[in-house]
Chain A
Amino acid sequence: MQFYNEMSDDGGVREHYREFSAWLAQQTPDAIERKRMEADLTFRRVGITFAVYGDNAGTERLIPFDMIPRIIPAAEWALLQRGLVQRVRALNMFIDDVYHEQHIIRAGIIPAEQIYRNAQYRPEMQGIKVASDIYAHVAGIDIVRAGAGEFYVLEDNLRVPSGVSYMLEDRKMMMRLHPELFASHQIAPVEHYPDMLLDNLRSVAPMGVMDPTVVVMTPGMYNSAYFEHAFLAQQMGVELVEGKDLFVSNSAVYMRTTRGPKKVDVIYRRLDDDFLDPLAFRADSALGVPGLLSVYRAGRVTLANAIGTGVADDKSIYPYVPDIIRFYLSEEPVLNNVPTYQCRKPDELSYTLANLPDLVVKEVHGAGGYGMLVGPASTSEQIEAFRARLLAHPEGYIAQPTLSLSNCPTFVESGVAPRHIDLRPFVLSGKTISMVPGGLTRVALQEGSLVVNSSQGGGTKDTWVLES
């Protein structure tokens, strides 16, 4: 299969990589190795472990960082940015509609069942007004490049998207290791993300609050994204709290401080809806705050992201997103979906069954790259086993053609070799929609692997958007 290579094509190195390629050619393997070790040491020393905080042996796991950046020319980024703003705007309007008038259901575009039987639909949000009508304050949109170089949106993450801390720390590391590259290239800065995020969060405080108190709410240090929670809290200059630090009283939320209870106005919460309030959702959750939902519904605290955004980022809704864009914005989508077959539809199910060896089949309610079939990489036994599961519950699956993901040169054991990548820009919505240029580039470190998730052996790269 032919893959789009980010750095070069048949005619040689692409223009936006020429400067870097020339620099790379001048580096000795020793120099590179020294820089790699320096990066490793620094990450460890400062505690950037990107994973669970230590075990009893006192060692911590790092997520691999690759020093060859993924470079995006200005014009390409302009297109991506336009598409992202459009998509996130439409998705927020969709969520608002689902929890209010439900025009899109009345218009027959999406069946009511698809909404109501979605476990992420929250009756608790029906009819509730949220600040600025924004639900997904932080959206992580996963983008891939395939085929001859076209971009596709692979997945929308509107609940608790993570990874922005890696983006920021990778940039910091690259600037530290190779300052000369930042002199020879015009790379759009990203360091202001925490400022933008804080600004956004403050802008959605409950009405009448003059100087809002913002906090980051974490499940705790045993959560795999804990570093990011602590990092963002520290960068924004706000408290990092767990459920047990908060309590509800007089229909407001307070945090327990050494100076007494302090009212909290905006909670950037990094735990799932289900765990937020044991009186409203999972009763066994020790991570939440009893009574939080009642304060939220009364409009006396803002949650970012809002409760119930999962109704829009489920794989069962993904095939409708182009129609969602058309319905709310009367525009054609700038960014395309990957062609998707909904197995709940009989003709699409037949197509899928007939083409299993060539397709990627995913569970509709799943995350993290598990529970799926990658046809071309599976044995006939695995395919048959999956066929049985599919036939038992067709409504639980969607299928997509295998994408020939673009690859990017990456440092491997034997030198430099192409590895598959994706891109996750982080889109912020508040009074306006904004983002820092680029996002997190994830790379599948195993040769031929298409799975970029850090929990399954992926790594990251710095992402450079060139300024013209």
Chain B
Amino acid sequence: MQLSIRHETQYRYTAALGYTIQQLHLTPRGEPQQHVLQWHLDAPGHLHAYTDAYGNLSHMLTLDKPHEDLVIVAEGVVETATPPQGRIAVRDTLSPLVYTVATRLTMPTENIRALAASCLPGRQAGTRDLMKLAEHIFGAVTYQTGATAVTTTATDALAQGSGVCQDHAHIFLACCHAVGIPARYVSGYIDPGNTNHAASHAWVDAWAQDDGFAGWVSIDVTHARLMTDAYCRIAIGRDYEAAAPIRGMRSGGGDEIMTVDVQIVPH
């Protein structure tokens, strides 16, 4: 399907600031199942475009003139297709082994290991096993905004039993790391259809070994289903911190008020 996407982020500050740097992942990835028809990124200051370690199309925004607000708008039209059986045929820049390494957010601990053991047979897991894990997490962790923060670890979110898509994804990744299955974080957009679901979303890719296939399968843990053409992929990484749409630092400015608006509709 064709998705029309607009992602606007606004920062307002109570005092003038002299310097802002923001790392942006706001451009859809070049992948076989999605085709960018038009895309435009609008932001003040200097934008340095590059491809990061994970193959994501990134921008480093720097602004070192005095300013009191910052508006970043990414918008365009993307043509998406449903990957068959959730299989993503991405040409990887890195070995899948890179995605077996846990980060602070996806470190396996007691509760994670127990969950992994109950769903995953070991290092060789098929799509069905991985979906089983997703369903378990879907059941064990209620979707609830405000219960966790961007810095919440997988083990804490699982213990709490509530979180958002980022937490679902981290828990899934931690379980895979516990048994040595390559798995990575995916950030992007989802067409919410008739629901109230946010258009910004996070899910996972996991390495599946099925009959005659070994490769990445893309799974939306929050909805316990394989990825469809309602999704647009922006960035992959080992966790939220690597794939977040916007991450930055500033110097000065007093307090910050951030508002985000993401609109995604079928074109």
Which A residues fall within an 8 A CB radius of B?
Answer: 112-113, 116-117, 119, 121-127, 247-251, 278-279, 283, 290-291, 294, 297-298
Among B100, B241, B249, which residue has its beta carbon within 8 angstroms of that of A116? B100
**Cβ contacts under 8 Å, A250 to chain B:** 46, 48, 62
User: Could you list 30 A-B pairs, sorted by A, with CB under 8 Å?
Assistant: A112-B95, A113-B97, A116-B97, A116-B98, A117-B97, A117-B100, A117-B101, A119-B101, A123-B54, A124-B52, A124-B53, A126-B93, A126-B94, A247-B19, A247-B64, A248-B62, A249-B19, A249-B21, A250-B48, A251-B48, A251-B60, A251-B62, A278-B249, A279-B248, A279-B249, A290-B21, A291-B21, A291-B60, A294-B50, A294-B52
**Cβ contacts under 8 Å, B251 to chain A:** 247
| B247 lies within 8 A of chain A by Cβ | yes
**Cβ contacts under 8 Å, B249 to chain A:** 278-279, 290
Among B23, B64, B98, B101, which residue has its beta carbon within 8 angstroms of that of A279? B23
- Measured CB to CB, the nearest residue on chain A to B63 is A249
CB 8 Å contact bits of B34-68 with A (1 = contact, 0 = none): 00000000000010101011100010101010000
Q: Are the C-beta atoms of B60 and A248 separated by less than 8 Å?
A: yes
Q: Are the C-beta atoms of B98 and A294 separated by less than 8 Å?
A: no
**Cβ contacts under 8 Å, A112 to chain B:** 95, 97
**Cβ contacts under 8 Å, A122 to chain B:** 53
A25 CA to B110 CA, complexed, in Å: 66
**Cβ contacts under 8 Å, B50 to chain A:** 294, 297-298
- Measured CB to CB, the nearest residue on chain B to A277 is B23
Among B21, B53, B62, which residue has its beta carbon within 8 angstroms of that of A123? B53
A121 CA to B53 CA, complexed, in Å: 12
**Cβ contacts under 8 Å, B60 to chain A:** 248, 251, 291, 294
Name the residue among B48, B58, B98, B251 with the largest chain A CB count within 10 angstroms. B48
Name the residue among A119, A121, A251 with the largest chain B CB count within 10 angstroms. A251
Q: How far is the CB of A337 from chain B (nearest CB, A)?
A: 26
**Cβ contacts under 8 Å, A121 to chain B:** 98
How many A-B residue contacts, CB cutoff 8 Å? 70
Please tell me the number of chain B residues within 8 Å of chain A, measured between CB atoms: 25
- Measured CB to CB, the nearest residue on chain B to A126 is B94
**Cβ contacts under 8 Å, B46 to chain A:** 249-251
**Cβ contacts under 8 Å, B95 to chain A:** 112, 116
- Measured CB to CB, the nearest residue on chain A to B237 is A123
**Cβ contacts under 8 Å, A298 to chain B:** 48, 50
- Measured CB to CB, the nearest residue on chain B to A124 is B53
A157 CA to B98 CA, complexed, in Å: 24
**Cβ contacts under 8 Å, B97 to chain A:** 112-113, 116-117
Q: Are the C-beta atoms of A291 and B100 separated by less than 8 Å?
A: no
Q: Are the C-beta atoms of B94 and A123 separated by less than 8 Å?
A: yes
Q: How far is the CB of B256 from chain A (nearest CB, A)?
A: 15
Q: How far is the CB of A264 from chain B (nearest CB, A)?
A: 15
**Cβ contacts under 8 Å, A278 to chain B:** 249
CB 8 Å contact bits of B254-267 with A (1 = contact, 0 = none): 00000000000000
A123 CA to B19 CA, complexed, in Å: 29
A349 CA to B108 CA, complexed, in Å: 26
**Cβ contacts under 8 Å, A127 to chain B:** 93
Q: A116-B98, A126-B53, A298-B48 are in contact. Are A279 and B247 (CB under 8 A)?
A: yes
Q: Are the C-beta atoms of A279 and B21 separated by less than 8 Å?
A: yes
**Cβ contacts under 8 Å, A117 to chain B:** 97, 100-101
Name the residue among A127, A251, A290 with the largest chain B CB count within 10 angstroms. A290
Q: How far is the CB of A251 from chain B (nearest CB, A)?
A: 4
Closest 10 CB pairs of A and B: A116-B97, A251-B48, A124-B53, A290-B249, A249-B62, A294-B60, A123-B53, A250-B46, A279-B23, A291-B21
CB 8 Å contact bits of B135-178 with A (1 = contact, 0 = none): 00000000000000000000000000000000000000000000
**Cβ contacts under 8 Å, A123 to chain B:** 53-54, 94, 98
A127 CA to B52 CA, complexed, in Å: 11
Q: How far is the CB of B189 from chain A (nearest CB, A)?
A: 22
Q: Are the C-beta atoms of A291 and B53 separated by less than 8 Å?
A: no
A439 CA to B98 CA, complexed, in Å: 37
Q: A112-B95, A126-B93 provided; 14 other pairs, C-beta below 8 A?
A: A113-B97, A116-B98, A116-B101, A117-B97, A122-B53, A123-B98, A124-B52, A247-B19, A250-B46, A251-B60, A279-B21, A279-B248, A290-B249, A298-B48
Q: Are the C-beta atoms of A248 and B93 separated by less than 8 Å?
A: no
Give B53-101 interface residues, CB cut-off 8 Å to A: 53-54, 58, 60, 62, 64, 93-95, 97-98, 100-101
Q: A116-B101, A278-B249, A298-B50 are in contact. Are A291 and B23 (CB under 8 A)?
A: yes
- Measured CB to CB, the nearest residue on chain B to A278 is B249
Name the residue among B58, B62, B93, B248 with the largest chain A CB count within 10 angstroms. B62
**Cβ contacts under 8 Å, A297 to chain B:** 50, 52-53
**Cβ contacts under 8 Å, B62 to chain A:** 248-251, 291
A246 CA to B21 CA, complexed, in Å: 13
A371 CA to B100 CA, complexed, in Å: 26
Q: Are the C-beta atoms of A283 and B241 separated by less than 8 Å?
A: yes
A113 CA to B58 CA, complexed, in Å: 29
**Cβ contacts under 8 Å, A116 to chain B:** 95, 97-98, 100-101
A248 CA to B21 CA, complexed, in Å: 8
Name the residue among B60, B101, B249 with the largest chain A CB count within 10 angstroms. B60
A278 CA to B151 CA, complexed, in Å: 14
**Cβ contacts under 8 Å, B58 to chain A:** 294
- Measured CB to CB, the nearest residue on chain A to B241 is A283
**Cβ contacts under 8 Å, A113 to chain B:** 97
Q: Are the C-beta atoms of A294 and B23 separated by less than 8 Å?
A: yes
A122 CA to B98 CA, complexed, in Å: 9
A291 CA to B251 CA, complexed, in Å: 14
Q: A124-B53, A278-B249, A297-B50 are in contact. Are A249 and B93 (CB under 8 A)?
A: no
- Measured CB to CB, the nearest residue on chain B to A115 is B97
A117 CA to B48 CA, complexed, in Å: 31
A467 CA to B100 CA, complexed, in Å: 53
A125 CA to B52 CA, complexed, in Å: 10
